[in-house]
C-alpha cells in the first residue's frame, strides 16, 4: 500500500486551473520533490496535502484513508503531518528548547519524555548547545535547524517542506541541502519537498516530480530526469542543454550541414528534437581523436567559469549555435577551428 496517494487532484479558481489532474504516489519513507517555476502549482499541491486548501476534484489518501475530496477534508491538525515554511515560523518568545518541545506539550506527553526527546533531537540537528538561546540570537541556518527539529520530534506520518531554504545565502543553502537529506536518511519520514531550485531537488530527493502549468510533466529519480528527459520543458528546466532540430530518415538524423546515426527512441522518419548536454560533447583539435561522430566547428564565444570553460561553437556552413563545456586546461581561442564529437548514448530525443 502507498503511504500518500494523490488521485486526479485539481484546484480551480474560477476559470483558472492552478492544479489540473495531478496523480502522484509516495511510498513509505520516500523523499519526493515537487520542482518547477513560480506559478506551476507546486505550493498549491503541498497545501492541499496539508489540508490548508480543499481540492476542487480528486482525492488525497494516506495509508488508505481519504484525507481530502470535494465532499470534505480532514483538518490539518488531524493529519499527523508536519510542515516547514519559508519563514521558519519559530516563536521568538520561546527558547530553542521550548520551540522544539511545544508540539510534544500539546500532545500532553510526560515531562520527562519531552525533556528526553527534545534533548535527543537537538543533538541530532547539532543544536544541543544552543537550547537556551532565543531565535533572535540564531543565524538563519540555525533557525532552520530548529524548525526541522520541531517538525521531526513529533514523529509525523508525513513531513512537508515549502521552499525551506529560499531565505538562506548560497553557502548555507548548500549545507542545508545535505543536512535535510541526512535527517531523512536517519528518520525515514515520508517527505514532500517543494522547490524551484533543481540543485536542491537533485541533492535531497529519491524522486522528483517536475511540474509545469499545474501538471506533472515527468516523475523520476534525479539521474533519469537529467539524462533521459521526456519533454522539452523537463530537459530545459533540469540543467542546461542544447536543443537540436533534425530530420530522421535512412538510418540517420540530418541536422542541416551534418548528420548523425539514428538514436534509440527517435522516430524512424520525420522531424526530431534532440537534447544534448554541454558536457556530453567533446572538443578536440584532431579529427577522429575519440572515435565518435564528429563535425567541424568554429569557436564563436567563450567564458571562463573557474571549474570549466563554457564555449559556444558553430558547425561549418551552419547558423546553428551549440554550447559545450571543457575542463579548465582545454583552452580554445575565439575564431579557432576544432572538431566537436557527439556521444549518441548521451543524446536524448524528446517530445
Indicate the length of the chain as a whole number.
351
pLDDT for 263 = 87
For residue 338 the three cell numbers come to 576544432
Candidate CATH numbers 3.40.50.300, 3.40.109.10, 3.40.50.2300, 3.90.76.10; the one for domain 4-236: 3.40.50.300
**121-136: b (≥16 Cβ within 10 Å) or e:** bbebbebbebbeebbe
CA angle 291, 293, 298 (to 5 degrees): 110
How many CA within 13 A on the CB side of residue 304? 8
CA 68/CA 346 separation, integer angstroms? 42
pLDDT for 290 = 65
Domain boundaries, the chain: 4-236, 241-350
Beta-bridge partners for 73:
68
Beta-bridge partners for 19:
11
For residue 251, the 8-state DSSP code is: T
Residue carrying C-alpha cell 523520476: 220
pLDDT for 258 = 82
Give the chain's count of helices (H) and strands (E).
8, 21
Mean pLDDT by 10 residues, the chain (351 residues): 94 94 97 96 97 96 95 93 87 94 92 94 93 93 92 96 89 91 95 96 97 97 95 95 93 86 87 95 84 90 97 91 96 96 91 75
Candidate CATH numbers 3.30.43.10, 3.40.50.20, 2.40.50.140, 2.30.31.70; the one for domain 241-350: 2.40.50.140
pLDDT for 289 = 60
Amino acid at each position: 500500500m502507498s503511504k500518500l496517494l494523490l488521485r486526479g487532484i485539481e484546484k480551480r479558481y474560477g476559470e483558472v486551473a492552478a492544479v489540473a489532474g495531478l496523480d502522484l504516489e509516495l511510498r513509505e519513507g520516500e523523499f519526493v520533490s515537487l520542482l518547477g517555476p513560480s506559478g506551476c502549482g507546486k505550493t498549491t499541491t503541498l497545501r492541499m496535502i496539508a489540508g490548508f486548501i480543499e481540492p476542487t476534484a480528486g482525492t488525497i489518501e494516506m495509508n488508505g484513508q481519504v484525507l481530502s475530496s470535494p465532499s470534505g477534508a480532514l483538518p490539518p491538525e488531524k493529519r499527523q503531518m508536519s510542515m516547514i515554511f519559508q519563514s521558519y515560523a519559530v516563536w521568538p518568545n520561546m527558547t530553542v528548547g521550548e520551540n522544539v518541545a511545544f508540539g510534544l506539550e500539546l500532545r500532553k506527553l510526560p515531562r520527562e519524555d519531552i525533556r528526553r526527546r527534545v534533548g535527543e533531537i537537538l543533538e541530532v540537528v547539532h543544536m544541543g548547545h544552543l537550547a537556551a538561546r532565543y531565535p533572535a540570537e540564531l543565524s538563519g541556518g540555525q533557525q532552520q535547524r530548529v524548525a526541522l527539529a520541531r517538525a521531526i520530534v513529533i514523529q509525523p506520518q508525513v513531513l512537508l517542506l515549502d521552499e525551506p531554504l529560499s531565505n538562506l545565502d548560497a553557502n548555507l543553502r548548500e549545507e542545508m541541502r545535505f543536512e535535510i537529506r541526512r535527517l531523512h536518511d536517519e528518520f525515514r519520514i515520508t517527505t514532500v519537498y517543494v522547490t524551484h531550485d533543481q540543485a536542491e531537488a537533485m541533492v535531497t530527493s529519491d524522486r522528483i516530480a517536475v511540474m509545469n502549468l499545474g501538471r506533472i510533466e515527468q516523475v523520476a529519480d534525479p539521474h533519469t530526469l537529467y539524462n533521459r528527459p521526456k519533454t522539452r520543458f523537463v530537459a530545459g528546466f533540469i540543467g542546461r542543454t542544447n536543443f537540436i532540430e533534425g530530420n530522421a530518415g535512412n538510418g540517420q538524423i540530418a541536422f542541416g550541414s551534418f548528420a548523425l546515426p539514428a538514436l534509440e527512441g527517435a522516430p524512424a522518419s520525420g522531424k526530431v528534437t534532440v537534447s544534448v548536454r554541454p558536457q556530453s560533447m567533446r572538443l578536440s583539435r584532431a579529427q577522429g581523436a575519440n572515435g565518435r561522430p564528429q563535425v567541424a566547428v568554429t569557436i564563436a564565444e567563450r567564458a571562463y567559469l573557474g571549474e570549466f570553460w563554457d564555449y559556444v561553437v558553430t558547425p561549418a556552413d551552419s547558423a546553428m549555435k551549440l554550447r559545450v563545456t571543457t575542463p579548465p586546461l582545454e583552452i580554445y581561442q575565439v575564431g579557432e577551428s576544432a572538431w566537436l564529437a557527439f556521444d549518441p548514448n548521451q543524446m536524448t530525443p524528446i517530445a
